[in-house]
A and B are shown apart, each in its own frame.
Chain A
Amino acid sequence: MRSRGMRAATVTLAAAVVPMTACSDDEGEITVMAAASLTDAFDELGAAFEEANPDVTVTFNYDGSSSLRDQILAGAPADVFAAANTATMDAVAEADGTAGDPQVFVTNELAIALPAGNEAGVDGLDDFGDDALLIGLCAEEVPCGSFGREALTNAGVTPAPDTDEPDVRSLLDKVASGELDAGIVYVSDVLAAGDGVEGVEIPEDQNVTAEYPIATLTESGNAEVADEFVAFVLSDEGQAILAGFGFGPPSS
């Protein structure tokens, strides 16, 4: 778990580097559509960005990546899209919704989430084939569900899930409350869940890496600030904040 002090230190660091990187003459408001799994990290990124650009207000709209895709394609006013998988971003890009090519800004690995105490004694992906355990996955239609099944295939396990949750947060809730014995989520989710959840690493040869792309949108009313925000996310300060929430660098 991250300490409050560490977070504060990151913000201070970001603020200290500001004069060198950001142009503080930018002004106005931007709306960032971001995948739900980015909530905590982007709240902190936004605060750091606003501190660097005092005349800028960043508003976040967090939702599942596919909901955000639908909203953007339906013409919802937004300046930046940060998705949890490349498929949803590609759909927006193909509809000429992105200005320039989307860039992968972080990666996220999978991990096994267990309720604190791990009474069922789960220690790896093998346990996901055990009918006697209460196992949860994300639905195949959402990114964490398709990635999770990919990892299980890599491990040679046929899963026996008791529920296919509609999103990773609801899966995590059921694990944290002890209603499920295990679930496959992202590393960043295990970190965010704190003490209620234990994480078990998935071996590198079985694990799947999710790529998170970001792009300024064509319809942006303030493309200059939007580009600035994207650059900030990709910058060293932005990456340091994201790393603090369990996200990996894009090159891995």
Chain B
Amino acid sequence: MRRDRPPWLLVPFAALAIAFLVVPFGALLQRAPWSDLADEVRRPLVTDALRLSLVSAFSATALSVLLGVPLAWVLARGRFPGRSLLRAVVTLPMVLPPVVGGAALLFAFGRRGLVGGPVYDATSFLLPFSTWGVIVANTFVALPFLVITVEAGLRSLDRRYEDAAATLGAGRWTVLWRVTLPMLAPSIAAGALLSWARALGEFGATVTFAGNLQGRTQTMPLAVFIAREADRGAAIALSLVLIAVSLAVLVPLRDRWLGA
């Protein structure tokens, strides 16, 4: 179709954007230790880190959906004082350097933390230095992506369908489950995908809050960072594994969920 052809002025800028995003990955591939790659990725360090990354990224995504959809609803539809402020606070983890976020989590949920302190004294339960800590750190940075996406989806929703359902006698809960959420599904899926991607790459908040221990808290980004200290080739090999896993999830889902 003729109208699908872009105005010519856009083309060079789009090409520049593609080059900007693709060239660094090309450079990474060029530096990769291809001959040792097969051995490199089979090390227990890599398989442990990959398993932990997937577990924590998917858990963080599930938690983000569970907590983020209700929050998005409140932010989009709720009428209460301080809503703008709350909206800004919710997006703070996106702006904050992740290391600061991790430190804040430690002050809140650490052994000497605001909440973590009393909990530890009563139950000896500790989030830092555990896989739960990784999931909490990942959720902290990933949640805002889901909230923003779903909130935008709720705002652009045609409310007449909900009104019609209500007029026909559906209760508030039924309207939410049978009308709002199904219509919102694409936004939730898009938000979940963004959250997952953010959680998978998380480094700063995780290492600051949960520490770094193989098999318990060492996710792929942490393994890459540590490997880089000793052996740059190993770090690149690890990065390639992370990229491959991301592409395996993003390529099929992105078109489907992020408006194709």
Contact = CB atoms under 8 A, between A and B. Distances in A.
Nearest to B213: A163
Interface string A157-182: 00001111110001000100111000
Interface in B173-215: 207-208, 211-214
Contacts of B107: 177
Interface stretch (A6-14, A17-25, A46-54, A135-143): A135-143
A141 B112 CA distance: 29
B211 A165 contact: yes
Given A134-B111, A139-B212, A179-B111, A66 B207 contact: no
A179 B110 contact: yes
Contact of A136 (B211, B214, B218): B211
A134 B129 contact: yes
Interface residues of B, number: 24
Interface stretch (B135-143, B147-155, B222-230): B222-230
Contacts of B111: 134, 178-179
Interface band, chain A: 10 to 19
Interface string B98-130: 000000001100111000000000000010110
**4 closest residue pairs by CB, A with B:** A163-B211, A141-B230, A141-B229, A162-B129
15 contacts: A66-B228, A66-B229, A134-B126, A134-B129, A141-B227, A161-B213, A162-B213, A163-B213, A163-B217, A164-B214, A164-B226, A165-B211, A166-B207, A166-B226, A178-B112
Given A163-B211, A164-B213, 15 more contacts: A66-B229, A66-B230, A134-B111, A136-B211, A139-B226, A141-B230, A163-B213, A163-B217, A164-B226, A166-B212, A170-B207, A177-B110, A178-B112, A179-B112, A179-B128
